[in-house]
Amino acid sequence: MPEPLLKVDGLQKRFGRGKNAYQALTDVSFEVGQGEIVGLVGESGSGKSTIIRCLVGLEKEDAGTISYDGIDPVSASKADLRRYRREVQMVFQDPYSSLDPRMTVQEILEEPMLVIGGFSPADRRARIHELIDMVGLLPEHLTRHPRHFSGGQRQRIAIVRSLVVDPRVLLCDEPVSALDVSVQAQVLNLIKDMQRRLDLTVLFVSHDLAVVKYLCTRLVVLDKGVIAETGDVPAIYDAPQDPYTRALMEAVPVPDPVLERARRARRLEAAR
């Protein structure tokens, strides 16, 4: 594994109190190396989103530590916390609810840079134009509102929004599961391309093992808030050690239409 950039150590999270308490995460530890795409997989309710939400501060863990490039957001100085918030960005599952319908695309894309600060108007403009070009959007799209875009285009806008502040880590929470099957492949390929071009480190949450196999180099398998298994993708797919991982693998439909499309799109692109 490359040098770890993101570390989660002994994470615990419980929701509710007393008889209704639910232990969502129990002693979760894993690392994501610089430049890796690591898949975080598990069934619905296994705690994947809770981990991501703890990583971006939307939930507060009960115990355990998180660290990014040596920065622990709980004890960090103001300057380090600012760096953490800038360099660790998230792409949400549903591009229909994650983009403010009252804002234009330009406003949506400028907002993170205005919140974080330190970007001149010229920087903001250059960054937006460079990235929309990379993801296949056009300058005239900037004056429109999200309702004028398809699900796939909205997720491209959401991806650009996460990239404008020049992050090093992208946390993707099921970023294609709300999209039509026909566009899932394009968005997966886009994430793969952006990861390579911008040298991003990606933690990719999915319940879909076929998608993760296509995209990721390493896997963290979560079972009811506990890590069942971690390892390199080929090794885990060839010989899963944990019974829960084996059961998850057996549930993968073959062949997978999304991945067939993704592979075909890449072959066509390579042939051009």
Q: How far is the CB of 243 from ligand ATP (least distance, A)?
A: 19
Q: Which of residues 17 and 78 has its CB atom nearest to ligand ATP in the complex? A: 17
Instruction: Establish if 153 lies at the interface with ligand ATP (CB under 6 A).
Output: no
Nearest to 206 by CA among 177, 233, 185: 177
Partners of 9 in the beta sheet?
65
* Minimum distance from residue 126 beta carbon to ligand ATP (Å): 36
Q: How near is the Cβ of 178 to ligand ATP at its closest, in Å?
A: 11
Closest contact distance (angstroms) between CB of 48 and ligand ATP is 4
* Position among 3, 44, 197, 268 found at the interface with ligand ATP (CB under 6 A): 44
Q: Which long-range contacts (CB under 8 A, 24 or more apart) does 12-16 make?
A: 12/61, 12/62, 12/63, 12/64, 13/47, 13/50, 13/54, 13/59, 13/61, 13/62, 13/225, 14/62
CA dihedral over 163, 165, 170, 176, signed as positive or negative: negative
- Name which of 168, 173, 143 is nearest 158 in CA terms: 173
152 contacts ligand ATP (rule: CB under 6 A): no
Total residue count of the chain as it appears in this document? 272
Give the span between the Cα atoms of 170 and 162, in whole angstroms: 8
Residues 193-222 touching ligand ATP, rule: CB under 6 A, are 207
Binding to ligand ATP (CB under 6 A) within 20-39 occurs at 22, 24
Residues 224 to 253: which contact ligand ATP by CB under 6 A? none
Binding residues for ligand ATP (CB under 6 A):
15-16, 22, 24, 42, 44-50, 207
